[in-house]
């Protein structure tokens, strides 16, 4: 691979690389605002300026400048190297670039930084970006001086509602155009643009439009300062109090990699944001996925229920034992869930196939929905492929209803509360069951019809593996402990097995995973 030198260090590069991209790949940060690895180059902020040595035998590019001469007590004409934007300058072999090692670059960065802050309001104490703002970070790293301008700063519109999810503050905006480019290039909806010139420039929404495509929250995500704020997160939390877990979005079968930011003091989730994975979601998530973290606190089930009434775990398990006592194995079925992790599904499938001795299994999950050509998948379940690999013979939910109506299935253990069909049409068939035990994290059709409900952890409360629509097996970390009596579904299944007289061997997640290994190898997942 060809290389160039950055501050004396050999950096490999690929054809077409710019200086900043090659450095970024090596984990070296060249300060930048307008550059984003997933967007086109605008080169408008000038924060990434670097000094480039000329090829051997060629004259360096120089600029005539006026510099203050203390001895002469006057300005004198002198020269300095012409700096180049690292985000736009392509690399060639043996090029020599100075970033941290150049005095001129350090001066330029401090000046760019001072220029960007000339009219910037001192909003930091009430700004949602505080703690993760580039202007704050780079002031400390590259400027560190007090403001010299004594004039009244230019005032611009604040609190402008761009759409249902985004509020804009033109005074904080550094006009890097990342949001404009994101909307045009990634969301394929050029709904944002700039108006005016110079220090009056601001970002506007196209006349007659709102910022309302399916990826509006990514404009806030790419904004390097606090100019675009999300209505959802605005004024809710200070980021330095939050911790991040490396989770997955369970909003659809794409399986976007995400960070779930939560407050560890209250175990409260506050936001979901993309985690880079070039093979899955690159740098992005859709709005529905970003906002899907609300499900962690909505319609939750945190206690066991018998006939819809809260009860204790021992009483609920005793009820399960009585309901299944004497049930004919051929009439017992399990319902796997494409909403749950592979570990949860494996535990239930194993209980059914190995211990209870039934091979009758069905698959449930959310109904299909909207799709697009960017990220959004029509399958609104994160683990359909994982369940299919585990139990290829699993039949549809409609088949379950038919089997119940025909009297072939009378006892069911179901994972998850979501069903793919119209809930109103399910009431009559489900009411015919002699026993329906549902292990679920959320209230839904299968919990409302259940004789016994056992409270399961939601995806961010337990580690789990999910297989996305491309067959990629991905792990989601546990962010925090579940509230109430909720347990990981695989653990609840082990307890159900015990009361039914089929002791399973797993007590820890790693034991479930160890048991899964041979099956995964056979299925090739």
Q: Compare residues 89 and 375 and give the one whose CB is closer to ligand SF4.
A: 375
179 touches ligand FES (CB under 6 A): no
CB 444 within 8 A of CB 299: yes
178 touches ligand FES (CB under 6 A): no
DSSP reduced 3-state for 482: coil
Phi then psi for residue 274, to 5 deg, are -70, 145
173 interface partner picked from ligand SF4, ligand FES, none, CB below 5 to 8 A per type: ligand SF4
Q: Are strands 243-248 and 160-161 parallel, antiparallel or unpaired?
A: unpaired
- Helical (H) or strand (E) element with 313: helix 313-324
DSSP reduced 3-state for 115: helix
- Quote the least distance from Cβ 33 to ligand FES, whole Å: 5
- Helical (H) or strand (E) element with 206: none
Number of residues that bind ligand FES (CB under 6 A): 12
451: number of Cβ within 10 Å: 21
288 interface partner picked from ligand SF4, ligand FES, none, CB below 5 to 8 A per type: ligand SF4
Tokens of 101: 């090692």
43 touches ligand FES (CB under 6 A): yes
259 interface partner picked from ligand FES, ligand SF4, none, CB below 5 to 8 A per type: none
52 touches ligand SF4 (CB under 6 A): no
Q: Cα(157)–Cα(166) distance, rounded to whole angstroms?
A: 14
CB 122 within 8 A of CB 153: no
Q: Compare residues 33 and 490 and give the one whose CB is closer to ligand FES.
A: 33
- Quote the least distance from Cβ 113 to ligand SF4, whole Å: 14
227 touches ligand SF4 (CB under 6 A): yes
Q: Compare residues 177 and 358 and give the one whose CB is closer to ligand SF4.
A: 177
Q: Cα(421)–Cα(398) distance, rounded to whole angstroms?
A: 8
175 touches ligand SF4 (CB under 6 A): yes
Beta bridge partners of 84: 50
- Quote the least distance from Cβ 191 to ligand FES, whole Å: 23
CB 98 within 8 A of CB 80: no
Give first-to-last CA distance, the chain, whole Å.
33
Contact string (CB under 6 A) for ligand FES, positions 16-35, x = contact: ----------------xxxx
191 touches ligand SF4 (CB under 6 A): no
DSSP reduced 3-state for 259: strand
Taken as a whole, the chain contains a residue count of 525
- Quote the least distance from Cβ 81 to ligand FES, whole Å: 17
CB 281 within 8 A of CB 468: no
Q: Cα(216)–Cα(222) distance, rounded to whole angstroms?
A: 10
Contact string (CB under 6 A) for ligand FES, positions 197-216, x = contact: --------------------
97 interface partner picked from ligand FES, ligand SF4, none, CB below 5 to 8 A per type: none
Piece in contact with ligand SF4 (CB under 6 A), picked from 371-379, 413-421, 433-441, 477-485:
371-379
47 touches ligand FES (CB under 6 A): yes
386 touches ligand SF4 (CB under 6 A): no
Within 13 Å of residue 220, how many CA atoms lie on the same side as its CB?
Answer: 31
Give the E-state strand segments of 323-381 in sequence order: 332-337, 361-364
254 touches ligand SF4 (CB under 6 A): yes
53: number of Cβ within 10 Å: 14
The residues, any chain, with a CB within 8 Å of residue 522's CB and separated by 6 or more, are none
Evaluate the CA torsion angle 40, 18, 85, 57 in order and state its sign: negative
Positions 281 through 320 that interact with ligand SF4 (CB under 6 A):
281, 285-286, 288-289
CB 441 within 8 A of CB 458: yes
Positions 70 through 89 that interact with ligand FES (CB under 6 A):
85, 87
177 touches ligand SF4 (CB under 6 A): yes
175 interface partner picked from ligand FES, ligand SF4, none, CB below 5 to 8 A per type: ligand SF4
Figure out which of the listed residues 127, 174, 338, 391 binds ligand SF4, where binding follows CB under 6 A: 174
Q: Compare residues 173 and 335 and give the one whose CB is closer to ligand SF4.
A: 173
Q: Cα(443)–Cα(252) distance, rounded to whole angstroms?
A: 19
- Quote the least distance from Cβ 36 to ligand FES, whole Å: 9
- Quote the least distance from Cβ 111 to ligand FES, whole Å: 14
Residue whose pair of structure tokens reads 């200086």 in the numeric block: 19
Figure out which of the listed residues 173, 306, 317, 460 binds ligand SF4, where binding follows CB under 6 A: 173
Binding site for ligand SF4 (CB under 6 A): 173-179, 203, 222-223, 225, 227-228, 249, 251-252, 254-256, 281, 285-286, 288-289, 375-377
Binding site for ligand FES (CB under 6 A): 32-35, 43-48, 85, 87
């Amino acid at each position: 691979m060809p290389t160039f030198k950055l501050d004396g260090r050999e950096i490999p590069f690929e054809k077409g690389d710019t200086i900043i991209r090659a450095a970024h790949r090596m984990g070296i940060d060249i300060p930048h605002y307008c550059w984003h690895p997933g967007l086109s180059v605008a080169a408008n902020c000038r924060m990434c300026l670097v000094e480039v040595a000329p090829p051997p035998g060629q004259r360096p590019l120089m600029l005539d400048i006026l510099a203050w001469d203390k001895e002469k007590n006057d300005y004198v004409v002198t020269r300095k190297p012409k700096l180049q934007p690292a985000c736009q300058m392509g690399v060639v072999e043996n090029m020599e670039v100075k970033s941290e090692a150049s005095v001129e670059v350090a001066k330029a960065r401090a000046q760019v930084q001072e220029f960007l802050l000339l009219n910037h309001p001192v909003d930091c104490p009430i700004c949602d970006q505080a703690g993760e703002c580039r202007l704050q970070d780079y002031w400390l790293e590259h400027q560190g001086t007090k403001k010299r301008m004594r004039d009244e700063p230019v005032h611009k519109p604040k609190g402008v509602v761009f759409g249902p999810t985004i509020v804009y503050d033109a005074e904080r905006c550094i006009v890097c155009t990342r949001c404009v480019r994101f909307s045009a290039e990634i969301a394929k909806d050029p709904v944002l643009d700039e108006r005016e010139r110079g220090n009056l420039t601001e970002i506007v929404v196209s006349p007659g439009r709102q910022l309302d495509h399916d990826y509006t929250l990514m404009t806030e995500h790419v904004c390097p300062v606090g100019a675009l704020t999300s209505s959802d997160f605005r004024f809710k939390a200070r980021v330095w109090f939050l911790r991040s877990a490396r989770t997955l979005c369970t909003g659809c079968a794409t399986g976007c990699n995400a960070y779930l930011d939560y407050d560890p003091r209250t175990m409260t989730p506050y936001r979901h944001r993309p985690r880079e994975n070039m093979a899955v979601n690159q740098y992005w998530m859709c709005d529905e996925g970003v906002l899907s973290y609300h499900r962690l606190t909505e319609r939750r089930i945190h206690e066991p229920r018998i006939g819809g009434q809260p009860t204790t775990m021992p009483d609920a398990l005793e009820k399960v034992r009585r309901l299944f006592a004497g049930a004919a194995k051929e009439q017992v079925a399990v319902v796997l869930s494409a909403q749950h992790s592979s570990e949860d599904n494996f535990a239930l499938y194993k209980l059914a196939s190995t211990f209870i001795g039934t091979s009758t299994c069905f698959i449930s999950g959310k109904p299909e929905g909207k799709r697009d050509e960017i990220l959004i998948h029509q399958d609104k379940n994160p683990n359909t492929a994982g369940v299919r690999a585990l139990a290829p013979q699993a039949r549809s939910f409609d088949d379950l209803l038919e089997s119940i109506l025909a009297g072939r299935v009378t006892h069911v253990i179901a994972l998850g509360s979501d069903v793919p069909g119209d809930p109103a049409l399910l009431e009559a068939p489900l009411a015919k069951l002699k026993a329906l035990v549902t292990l679920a994290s959320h209230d839904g059709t299968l919990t409302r019809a259940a004789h016994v409900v056992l409270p399961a952890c939601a995806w961010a409360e337990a580690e789990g593996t999910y297989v996305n629509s491309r067959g990629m097996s991905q792990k989601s970390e546990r962010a925090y402990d579940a509230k109430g009596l909720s347990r990981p579904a695989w653990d609840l299944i082990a307890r159900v097995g015990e009361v039914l007289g089929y002791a399973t061997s797993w007590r820890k997640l790693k034991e479930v995973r160890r048991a899964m290994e041979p099956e995964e190898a056979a299925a090739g997942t």
